[in-house]
């Protein structure tokens, strides 16, 4: 289990440290629907992640039963880690050269979040996560790692649920702060939003280099090339 979480924890942290998601959460909290819209936004992302886990978890398990080999699961997990490592390193390189994140929403979308209602916020949370290529790779890699570790059915489900909670820990933290201390949260969240907006490029580069290198090395080790 420790070996499994050495893969899942970096995956969850890299999934959580997405500046655009945190900024959008703050914008929704400052809008007319406030906490209800932000909660709906987080719920939309959660539903997509859970749906991905159920759908692809079942597909992976059924494939394992058909093949009857646990070596295939380890190979798939290593290949997914290799792909993810390359994706993160390429994203870091693009951000360093071009100064943008290909998964970040356009500026016009950012301003539009100020007046979003809960229903639309839910759909946007689900939609943005569903079209994010990196999010899909993160999820599939996590599922592949869980399957390769040969965790039992219920334990596998709880492990993936833990991954989902950690992957959304920062947006959940922002929401909790707004609910627990609504008066003090406005100024704090405004500072966080401004800081993220000013440093999002460096966050993308740092996350890409650190986690991309880590996943690449783990993949090469799993493939017997390191």
Q: Which residues contact 93 (CB under 8 A, 6 or more apart)?
A: 208
Alpha helix ranges (H) inside 149-181: 153-167, 169-180
For 30-81, the pLDDT digits (tens) are 878 888 999 999 999 999 999 988 887 767 666 654 555 555 656 777 888 8
For 92-145, the pLDDT digits (tens) are 888 888 755 555 555 555 566 667 889 999 999 999 888 888 888 888 888 888
Residue 218: count other Cβ atoms within 10 Å of its Cβ: 22
Region of residue 102 (phi > 0: left; psi between -120 and 50: alpha; otherwise: beta): alpha
CA distance 78 to 120: 37
Is the separation of the CB atoms in 165 and 158 below 8 Å? no
Is the separation of the CB atoms in 156 and 146 below 8 Å? yes
The CA distances from residue 203 to 20, 72, 174, in Å, are 11, 34, 18
Locate tokens 């890409």: which residue?
208
Which one-letter DSSP state was computed for residue 114?
Answer: G
Kindly report the pTM of this predicted structure: 0.80
Residue 92: how many CA atoms within 13 Å on its side-chain side?
18
């Amino acid at each position: 289990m420790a070996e499994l979480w050495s893969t899942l924890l970096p995956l969850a942290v890299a999934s959580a440290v997405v500046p655009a998601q945190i900024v959008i959460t703050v914008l929704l909290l400052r809008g007319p629907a406030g906490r209800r819209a932000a909660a709906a936004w987080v719920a939309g992302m959660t539903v997509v992640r859970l749906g991905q886990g159920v759908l692809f978890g079942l597909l992976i398990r059924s494939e394992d039963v058909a093949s009857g080999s646990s070596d295939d699961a380890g190979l798939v997990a290593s290949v997914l880690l290799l792909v993810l490592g390359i994706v993160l390193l390429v994203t870091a390189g693009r951000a360093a050269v071009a100064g943008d994140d290909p998964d970040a929403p356009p500026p016009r979308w950012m301003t539009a979040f100020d007046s979003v209602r809960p229903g639309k916020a839910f759909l946007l949370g689900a939609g943005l996560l569903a079209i994010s290529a990196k999010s899909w790779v993160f999820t599939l890699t996590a599922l592949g790692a869980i399957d390769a570790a040969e965790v039992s059915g219920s334990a596998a489900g709880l492990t993936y649920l833990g991954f989902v909670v950690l992957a959304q820990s920062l947006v959940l933290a922002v929401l909790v702060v707004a609910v627990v201390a609504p008066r003090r949260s406005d100024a704090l969240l405004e500072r966080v939003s401004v800081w993220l907006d000013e440093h999002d490029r460096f966050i993308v580069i740092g996350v890409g280099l650190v986690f991309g290198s880590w996943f690449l090395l783990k993949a090469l080790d799993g493939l017997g090339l390191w």
